[in-house]
Chains A and B, each alone.
Chain A
């Protein structure tokens, strides 16, 4: 038997003593919890509560489990909203299928509860969230192959919804999608959404004014409109160029997407007559994911890579705290203690004369680098305090005072 868990795996370690040798359907463990089911699954799916978190366990063939694990991780790397793959258990004895472990999305709702009368949420906001997710996947070259309401979880997001992909079993990643692949995916979504709403109607929980086929067709219209706005090429006259480009970029930003690249081609050379041809490449991922996470946890403002680094340090500090106390420590508690006990002492210790050479977050990041360097050299962990002291004595004074000045004036 083989466990593959993605770091940080502190919480997942608590899952190791589950009865992995038994078929999932036969498990009897007091950590199993009932989550209202998302419909008729092709596989056995069960939920486990461990260390204050809920995990979804799905039993499926080794090859499929490994593949879905890889795809879900890839989605997360690209900053696409998907459930987090925690790990996969393969080569289970007795020819039993593998188990894919994902973290259940906290504070999320399924379409069944959101559509259910009498407190039904307006369908259009759910559809917008679903369509946005599908467009993000398509921009990234993902063909979902199974887009449906039941394969999505929704989170409330200040008056709107954010949709998260839950099931990537049939997904495929390509360098980019063909028109046929996108169409196929959208047509399938239309069918699946209608089917799921017919099912709610049969269960008697769909508000009577909701027409399943109407909602399904509406989803396709919304997707097409969004895709068109995100990727449409248009011909601009030279006089209106600046205004129109800015306008287009702003509209795309308003939809929650970033623009990766604006390309202007001579329209005459592309055979479409006068003017300039505007082609925009829309960025796939939600921008600034780590920045926002760090800010939410600590109030620190940082650039994206700095934020990723600091979040890693918080994660390892949390692991250290948990080992010390022998109990799970919530993320928000760990972040607060890290700020007070790790980050702020380092920043307070910056010698007055050297303050301002680099921004504080960058200095902290460099201290972490320096700690790694010193520890590597001496063969043991030197600790952050000692690393900071040495860094302030030997490295920071060598950073030119003008390094972080604004752009030097042109030399004319």
Chain B
């Protein structure tokens, strides 16, 4: 096992366009790191530079304490999992797993020990003497994983491994990968464009945009304390709402109404600016009639006309259209396009308790949890209200979770 350390990595192709631009990222020993972003953001290129498939234009790539910029892929001792795996019909499951060891002429005794151990981890022990044709789809995928594990590679790499599976198998495999990675504690880099995979699998998530690393942090940090509009919009579904607002003293005048900035830090962030973008997640709204007096006082209520509601049983969404100045509306549309989003209209998405009786066409009273809003600079996209103390706290929390999972693994039998 080993850490993977990327310093100022640049990848330029023949046309001089930087597909990856000055990325520095440390994947710690045993960590599960996700690379995520919309198509064309450079995540796959970065993974391919770790593997050794793409030359590095400049910067330094280290695996463990070794610089690998010019090292051949096989010598890097990494394992690309599921990449075009082939199971051999006449070989038993045992031999299908053992096969990389046979190729390396590993002594029989060691082959037996390592294959037995691997099969135990994957719950394949009772299938070892069967042929792959008699296995289910999920079991075959586990045999392929076994082949990667038995090599004892320094790290596992996954490039959108689940994108071609059907929804059921995809869910199963996601759980399986997470469970195994925690148990084995193997350094893992996983590329996906699917933010559900990103949020559920990773210890940390690196968000890329047009070849530039935007933010790297635990899923919770990205969700709660995004560094900019792009990360705020990319992480979370439905997306964070961005409302244009003019600043009047300690008040934000938004299309949905006036919001008081009672938090001095937020007020300071807005001070001296004419126009800002206010970011409010759908779940920071609630039907005001369902909010108790205590809680009501911690936020603020606004009145807005609801266009459409969607009741889903466990929750419901309301859509609230609003007017935005033409220049900001164009900017928000552009952001939505870049995020591969489908929200072309300026409308707020509001999550309501499933018990709410607000209906389409109502002039509804909505409560806003103003403590959770963020303020963004419309010109640079920068988040002006990122709370560094909270970021540090979330970082410590994530590390504690990771170590306790690792501890559980070491205590686990087998």
Q: Which residues of A come within 8 Å of B, CB atoms?
A: 39-40, 61, 64, 143, 145-146, 148, 150, 169-170, 175, 178-181, 183-184, 187-188, 190-192, 194-196, 198-200, 202-203, 213, 216
Contact = CB atoms under 8 A, between A and B. Distances in A.
Contacts of A194: 99, 102-103
Contacts of A202: 88, 90-91, 95
Contact of B73 (A39, A61, A64, A187): A187
A191 B103 CA distance: 7
Interface stretch (B48-56, B113-121, B273-281, B311-319): B48-56
B89 A184 contact: no
B88 A178 contact: no
Given A198-B88, A202-B88, A213-B103, A184 B164 contact: no
B86 A195 contact: yes
**7 tightest Cβ-Cβ pairs between the two chains A and B:** A199-B88, A202-B90, A203-B90, A180-B52, A184-B73, A146-B84, A40-B89
A395 B87 CA distance: 65
Interface in B51-95: 51-55, 72-74, 83-84, 86-91, 95
Contacts, number: 78
B100 interface: yes
A194 B54 CA distance: 26
A39 B89 contact: yes
B89 A170 contact: no
A143 to B, nearest CB: 8
Given A199-B89, A213-B105, A178 B55 contact: yes
A213 B164 contact: no
16 contacts: A40-B88, A61-B164, A64-B164, A143-B53, A146-B84, A148-B86, A179-B72, A181-B54, A183-B74, A184-B53, A184-B73, A188-B84, A194-B102, A198-B95, A199-B91, A203-B90
A184 B84 contact: no
Most A CB contacts (10 A, CB to CB) among B14, B51, B90, B91 go to: B90
A200 B87 CA distance: 13
Nearest to A60: B164
B145 to A, nearest CB: 15
Nearest to B105: A213
Nearest to B88: A199
B359 interface: no
B88 A39 contact: yes
B90 A199 contact: yes
Contacts of A198: 88, 91, 95, 99, 102
B142 to A, nearest CB: 15
A40 B86 contact: yes
A61 B166 CA distance: 10
B53 A40 contact: no
A196 B89 CA distance: 10
Contacts of A150: 86
B133 interface: yes
A228 to B, nearest CB: 16
Contacts of B105: 213
Interface in B93-115: 95, 99-100, 102-103, 105
A148 B86 CA distance: 10
Given A191-B103, A216-B103, A145 B84 contact: yes
B226 interface: no
Contacts of A195: 86, 88, 99, 103
A102 B56 CA distance: 38
Nearest to A169: B84
Contacts of B52: 180, 183-184
A40 B133 contact: yes
B132 interface: yes
A224 B91 CA distance: 30
Contact of B84 (A61, A170, A183, A199): A170
B55 A40 contact: no
Given A198-B95, A216-B103, A192 B86 contact: yes
Given A64-B164, A213-B105, 12 more contacts: A40-B86, A61-B164, A145-B83, A148-B86, A169-B84, A180-B73, A184-B73, A191-B100, A194-B102, A196-B88, A198-B99, A202-B88
Contact of B51 (A169, A184, A200): A184
A187 B74 contact: yes
Contacts of B164: 61, 64
Q: For A143, A187, A202, which residue has the most chain B Cβ atoms within 10 angstroms?
A: A202
Nearest to A204: B90
A216 B100 CA distance: 13
Interface in B127-169: 132-133, 164
A188 to B, nearest CB: 8
A370 to B, nearest CB: 43
Nearest to A184: B73
Contacts of B99: 194-195, 198
A264 B74 CA distance: 34
A212 to B, nearest CB: 8
B230 to A, nearest CB: 26
Nearest to B99: A195
A88 B143 CA distance: 31
Contacts of A169: 84
Nearest to B72: A183
Contacts of B73: 180, 183-184, 187
B152 to A, nearest CB: 16
A383 B87 CA distance: 57
A2 B95 CA distance: 42
A145 B53 CA distance: 11
B195 to A, nearest CB: 20
B29 to A, nearest CB: 24
Given A191-B103, A198-B102, A178 B53 contact: yes
